Amino acid sequence: MTHYHYIAWRHFGRLILVKRQHMNIQSCETWECINSFANWLSAFGTILISGIALWLSVQDRRIYVSANLSLGFIPGDDPLVVNRRVYILEFTNIGHRPVTISSHYWYLPFRKGKSFLMPNLDSRVSHFCSKFPIELTDGKTGHIFYPEDFFSSVLDEPHKFLFHENTLVAWLRINFFKVKLSTSVGKLINVNVSKQVRKKLWKIYRAA
């Protein structure tokens, strides 16, 4: 093939390519082409819906509990007057699956293992506390109340818990202790401890 024939073939080939592309664009303007895209979209939609349904079924089987430790008040000696300061451990089932809370416990720095406390034995708050184990359905809430002086006076040996004799250890325990809820299926729920609770405990410790 000579140089002139090559140039002619190159331009002729481009002409054929452009013509074919133009024919393909024109052919896609028919209902047959549109229907082929509709089949693809239908298949994609089916897969997407199946995936969402599977995700929702998995979410329904999971346990979702919101738990917080905060400050509050309950009725005191006079049931009509809300004036007794307490620490409130509140836990709510925010999922669809029912959950049974079996107990709660504390983790402290420089103290091995779990620490189980039973503020429900204190007559001042016992009738307000939820009884363990407690089953929570969707939206149901449970409560545990600690009297304000529980950690400084009610415990037999406060210095072995939060209010350690060493100021540094006490500061670390008050600012970094953790509270967890245990469930009947073995899942642990972390309790969110408000800053006001830690500040209050530190203030009481410093005043002692």
Q: Report pLDDT digits (tens) over 126-171.
A: 999 999 999 999 999 999 999 999 999 888 889 999 999 999 999 9
At 28 the pLDDT is 53
Q: Stretch 184-195: mean pLDDT, rounded?
A: 95
With bands split at pLDDT 50, 70 and 90, how would you rate the model's confidence at 60? low
Whether the Cβ atoms of residue 158 and residue 170 lie closer than 8 Å to each other: no
At 117 the pLDDT is 94
Mean pLDDT (the chain, rounded):
83
With bands split at pLDDT 50, 70 and 90, how would you rate the model's confidence at 105? very high
At 18 the pLDDT is 42
Percent of the chain with pLDDT over 70: 74
Higher pLDDT, 74 or 154: 74
Question: Residue 5 pLDDT more than 90?
Answer: no
At 160 the pLDDT is 92
Higher pLDDT, 13 or 205: 205
Percent of the chain with pLDDT over 90: 63
Q: What is the pLDDT of residues 10-28, one digit of tens each?
A: 444 444 444 444 445 445 5
Question: Residue 79 pLDDT more than 80?
Answer: yes
Q: What is the pLDDT of residues 108-133, one digit of tens each?
A: 999 999 999 999 999 999 999 999 99
At 46 the pLDDT is 75
* pTM listed for this prediction: 0.72
